Amino acid sequence: MAQSPDKQNTLVMKFGGTSVGSIAAYKQVIQIVADAKKDWSNVVVVISAMSGITNLLIESAQQASQCNDHCYEQAARTLTQKHNEILDALVHDELLKQATSQSIQALITDFSNFCQAISVLGEATPRAMDAVVSLGERMNVRLLSAILQSAGIKSQCVESSTMIITDHHFQSARPDLAETKIRTQAIIHPLLEADIVPVITGFIGATPQGVTTTLGRGGSDYSAAIIGISLEADAVWVWTDVDGIMTADPRMVDCAQTLPELTYSEVAEMANFGAKVLHPKTIHPIVQEDITLRVCNTFNPKNPGTIITSDEHMDETGKMKAVATISGLKLITIKGHGMLGVPGVASRILAAVATTRASVPLITEASSEQSICFAISMELADQAVQAIQNEMAAELNNKDIDSVSMTDEVVIVTLVGPGMRNTVGIAGKIFMTLADHQINVISISYGASDLSLSLVVQIEDLEKAVKALHTLIC
């Protein structure tokens, strides 16, 4: 396996869509990369699609599956206009501009062809969706690489499908980290040795046969983490549009503050429970290699942002640090006296849910074993109920299980902080605060993690609950 040209001085920087949403934003990225080059021997850039492009691609493919050709035809014109606007403003060499424009236009032609095929078939398969959605990143690496070259920074665009090898689970593929590391080092190290900044597509991988896959929405963060560990980087910086990870969503809480430092476990807990700054999958590979992770603001680069450090630095005082939320959920409840003392009921229920590929962020079980309740995404709730009813058909017929029911939309509100489970009075303080604001708690998960306490409340109580609980942090 090739060795890093300078193993001790490699920085991977990921820029999200909001960091590349305008001419001014691209100029900020140029300056950030130029500044990083002064301090780091090796700089690697991972980029998302331009702001708004991924949603446009998804909507176009979905409309094409309903034979609405006008939508994707208009989208193709929009793609051309948006990318050419940035290209004309920031790339001054005419030959480079022409070559980049032609390369992007070829991808837009591919987009139109994909959508036309989807329209003819009347179906957008997961494989087809990955092919379409990946085009946003593929266009943007060409654009940003040309912009950096025009600014005097040697750069080359790289499609991560040549490096990140995954399984065949389209739209949420799992990478083969061992093979990915071999390929990443083989492709990227020669560029770094030549003092070239690689600009790599986030979000995208490929099967061993070369078929395009994606890592799921938000997967550009994950891509940066994968590339970071593959290159044995010293640091991964995620550039976004906020000053790091905050104590709460600033759209709900005016006094939300940036957290200057969090541990891996704390930020993983926040990501799992809805904090949108980092993709949940990002944390795990970074933890394994003890790589420094930082969240920064593209539009305020002098702000230090949030540093994510080893769990060795964890404060054990039981201080509450942040409130995170997951919305768009329903609660499914299975009740029945016949469940009492019967081994394997819970595993059968969850195995049935797993067939829908749904994630279960919270689960509770009555001590009497007569009911199980768990949260699941609204989009998969009906499928999950049907899968449970099919699996437990005999028990339902024999009245061992009385019902399988689900609620209207609910939300999980999670308080995150170290040592919460072992700190006297925290639960009482939380519930008293909610009671004072007339907020009813539908379900609770406490004790499974030493770092969090999760509550389920009605969707209409979301903002009120977050504001109330944030007073325990301010």
| pLDDT tens-digit series, residues 77-131 | 999 999 999 999 999 999 999 999 999 999 999 999 999 999 999 999 999 999 9
The residue behind tokens 């398969």 is 125
Beta strand 235-240 with 292-297 is parallel
Residue-wise pLDDT tens digits, 317-356: 668 889 999 999 999 999 988 777 667 888 899 999 999 9
5: pLDDT strictly greater than 50: no
Phi/psi-derived region of residue 152, left when phi > 0, alpha when psi is between -120 and 50, beta in every other case? left
Domain boundaries, the chain: 10-241, 322-470
Which helix or strand (DSSP H or E) is residue 263 part of? strand 261-263
Can you read off the two tokens belonging to residue 141? 């690496």
Residues with Cβ within 8 Å of 340's Cβ and at least 6 positions away in sequence, in order, are: 368, 369, 370
> What was the pLDDT predicted at 309?
81
In angstroms, how far is the first alpha carbon of the chain from the final one? Answer: 50
Can you read off the two tokens belonging to residue 34? 């130029």
Biggest CA–CA distance in the chain, Å, is 76
Burial class (CB in 10 A: 0-12, 13-18, 19+), 188: buried
Q: What are the residues facing 425 on neighbouring strands?
A: none
Q: Any long-range contacts for 353-357 (C-beta under 8 Å, 24+ apart)?
A: 353/384, 353/387, 353/388, 355/387, 356/380, 356/383, 356/384, 356/387, 357/172
Nearest by Cα to 204 from 273, 107, 298: 107
Q: Per CATH, which fold does 10-241 belong to?
A: Carbamate kinase (3.40.1160)
266: pLDDT strictly greater than 80: yes
> Other CB atoms closer than 10 Å to residue 199's CB: what's the count?
26
Instruction: Tell me whether the CATH fold assigned to 10-241 matches the one assigned to 322-470.
Output: no
Nearest by Cα to 332 from 385, 379, 380: 385
Contact yes or no for 192/10 (Cβ under 8 A): yes
> What was the pLDDT predicted at 11?
97
Nearest by Cα to 160 from 137, 177, 179: 137
> What was the pLDDT predicted at 474?
64
Contact yes or no for 65/123 (Cβ under 8 A): yes
Q: Which CATH superfamily is domain 322-470 in?
A: VC0802-like (3.30.2130.10)
Residue-wise pLDDT tens digits, 192-246: 999 999 999 999 999 999 999 999 866 889 999 999 999 999 999 999 988 888 8
Q: What is the pTM of this model?
A: 0.84
